[in-house]
């Protein structure tokens, strides 16, 4: 029998629980990595990025 959808593949598989657990672990590692990256950046970096649109207008007026 050829599976017609992902649901068919996952419902008849022997290691479905393992794949679900593996997917959750990968998601959590990625999510925690992104959160760590965001909070490890200096506040100065975010202040500069937040003011970037305002600084462009000031630089153009000087020209």
Query: Is 56 within 8 Å of 50 (Cβ atoms)?
Result: no
Run means of pLDDT, 10 residues per run, the chain, 63 residues: 68 78 96 95 81 64 53
pTM score: 0.56
Could you give the dihedral angle defined by the CA atoms of residues 6, 28, 17 and 4, in that order, rounded to the nearest 10 degrees?
A: 0
Could you give the dihedral angle defined by the CA atoms of residues 23, 26, 30 and 33, in that order, rounded to the nearest 10 degrees?
A: 150
Query: Quick one: tokens of 40?
Result: 């490890």
Query: Is 19 within 8 Å of 10 (Cβ atoms)?
Result: yes
């Amino acid at each position: 029998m050829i599976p017609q959808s992902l649901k068919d593949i996952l419902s008849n598989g022997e290691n479905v629980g393992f794949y679900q657990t593996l997917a959750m672990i990968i998601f959590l590692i990625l999510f925690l990595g992104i959160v760590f990256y965001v909070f490890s950046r200096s506040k100065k970096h975010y202040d500069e990025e937040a003011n970037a649109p305002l600084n462009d207008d000031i630089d153009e007026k000087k020209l």
